[in-house]
Amino acid sequence: MLELLFLLLPVAASYGYVMGRNSVRQAQRKQSSILSRHYYRGLNFLLSDQPDKAVDTLMKMINLDSDTVETHIAMGNFFRHRGELDRAIRVHQNLVSKAELSESQNLQALRELGKDYMLAGFLERAENAFLQLLDSEKHFLDAQQQLFSIYQTTKEWDRAIELGERMMNCHGDSDDLCNRISHFYCEQALKKIKSEEYGDAESSLQKAITCDEHAVRPWLILGELAIKQNDYQQAFNYLKEVPIRDVSWFSEAVPLLEKCTKELNSDEQLDGLLEQYWQQCATSYLAKVRLIAKNKSTEEAEKVLFEQLSKTPTMKGFRTLMGFFIEDEVDDKTKESLTMVKGLVEEQIKLRPKYRCHSCGFSGRQIHWLCPSCKKWGVVKPIKGLDGE
């Protein structure tokens, strides 16, 4: 009898192994069947235009198989692109709350959730999401851009500067980052000027210059600030730095320089500066022509203007030339005709844009240091050509 029991032991072990294996297979088949049933049910709800039920059904799948994370993220993105942000948030929130996700999957879901919050206008929640991603090697650049966008929208320039400097310390500086931080300091300075904190404003502008040696905006603001404080010589010294940094912005500095020299009664300073740059833009050569007309003769000013217009014709130049002709001794009928044409040219100048974005082509009549269209800093510049400079 005992021998028989020993003989049956291998048989019992084999039977137990086979039964156990079959049980596992049955459980896997059952789980796969449930997963497929949930998946196709959710897909059917979606195609039947019942997205709420689809979301609920598909979210149940995460409890069964974490391999469906990519499907859930894609589903959330689909809802976001359709503008159904509440559903997108529900899907991505559900993913972030799951402990079964790997770290990379959790960070990916968190990034998508942050984007959902951004579009929904929940900027504080979006900020919290992206702050968690700054330490992620894969997502920190995207998080940085999104945080900059948030701080620009809310005009929290102090926090934007803090973030930018943190990025420079952690990942090194770049031309784009230096340019961006320089503009943040300028925005900070404008807020302080508005509250008459002129000393702090100057400090911010000096930091802007330190951040980006090619920046012209801080020099322009420093010039305007010095004029505001009736320090015209200092203003002139600030403004003459503009063409050194970027000559395309000299057209913005010239009117301020003319105001300074008028108050200082010192045309020599302006004439000396214009000698280097007067052919760079219409505004500068018209300032040169006015100095010639004032200190020499109208005839010589007309000659210089006519020669310059033959090289680089502009509507501004034609308007000034017609003004000279009207002042000349001409008959009343000719003067009336020239006055009418001059008025038409002036209307044309008023209608045409003065600035254009070199990145996306946006144009307008006001300076936008941050392009309203492509949201890039420092890409809008004065227009060159017949209608511009």
Domain contains 141: yes
Express the helix, strand and coil content of the chain in percent, nearest 5 each: 75, 5, 20
Looking at residue 65, its pLDDT comes to 55
**Last residue of a domain, which of 124, 154, 184?**
154
CA end-to-end distance (rounded Å), the chain: 112
Domain count of the chain?
Answer: 2
Instruction: Judge contact between 253 and 239, C-beta under 8 A.
Output: yes
Asked if pLDDT for residue 2 goes beyond 50, the answer is: no
What is the pLDDT, as a whole number, of residue 55?
A: 59
Q: What DSSP string runs through 56-123?
A: HHHHHGGGT-GGGHHHHHHHHHHHHHTT-HHHHHHHHHHHHT-TTS-HHHHHHHHHHHHHHHHHHT-H
Residue 41 domain-assigned? Answer: yes
pTM: 0.76
For residue 331, report the phi and psi dihedrals to the nearest 5 degrees. Answer: -70, 160
**What pLDDT score does 223 carry?**
96
Question: How high is the mean pLDDT of the chain?
Answer: 83
Any idea what the CATH number is for the domain that residue 146 is in?
1.25.40.10
Give the single-character DSSP code of 385. S
How far apart (Å, rounded) are the C-alpha atoms in residues 254 and 248?
Answer: 12
Q: Calculate the CA 124 to chain-centre distance.
A: 19
Is 64 a member of any domain? yes
- Of the residues 154, 172, 196, the one at which a domain ends: 154
| CA–CA separation, 320 and 331 (whole Å) | 19
Note the pLDDT tens digit of each residue in 321-343.
888 888 776 677 777 778 888 88
Instruction: Decide: 319 and 354 in contact? Cβ < 8 Å.
Output: no
pLDDT, residue 9, reads 46
pLDDT tens for residues 182-226? 999 999 999 999 999 999 999 999 999 999 989 999 999 999 999
Domain boundary pick from 100, 133, 154: 154
pLDDT, residue 61, reads 55
To 10 degrees, the CA torsion angle through 117, 156, 107, 72? Answer: 10
CA-only gyration radius of the chain, Å: 34
The answer to whether the Cα torsion of 228, 230, 232, 233 is positive or negative is negative
- Mind listing the pLDDT tens digit for each residue in 217-256? 999 999 999 999 999 999 999 999 999 999 999 999 999 9
Of 174, 237, 246, the residue nearest 217 (C-alpha): 246
Whether 97 is in a domain gets the answer yes
Instruction: Answer whether residue 170 is part of any domain.
Output: no
Tell me the pairing of strands 363-364 and 355-357: antiparallel
Band of residue 58 on the pLDDT scale cut at 50, 70, 90: low
Tell me which residue range forms the domain holding 388: 352-389
Q: What is the pLDDT of residue 12?
A: 47
Residue 365 lies in a domain: yes
What tens digit of pLDDT does each residue of 79-97 get?
888 888 888 888 888 888 8
pLDDT (0 to 100) of residue 95: 85
Distances (CA, A) of 260 to 51, 96, 205, 239, 268: 66, 60, 20, 10, 12
Mean pLDDT across the stretch 254-283? Answer: 91
Q: Rounded to whole angstroms, how far apart are CA atoms 80 and 70?
A: 15
Q: 205: exposed, middle or buried (C-beta count within 10 Å: 0-12, 13-18, 19+)? A: buried
Laid out side by side, the sheet with 363-364 consists of 363-364, 355-357, 380-382
26 pLDDT tier (thresholds 50, 70, 90): low
If pLDDT is split at 50, 70 and 90, which confidence band does 388 have? confident
190 lies in a domain? no
Q: How far is CA 159 from CA 39, 114, 129, 151, 218, in A?
A: 44, 18, 16, 7, 20
- DSSP lists the bridge partners of residue 370 as 377
372 found inside a domain: yes
32, pLDDT greater than 70: no
How far from the centroid of its chain's Cα atoms is residue 198's Cα? 27
pLDDT at 15 over 60: no
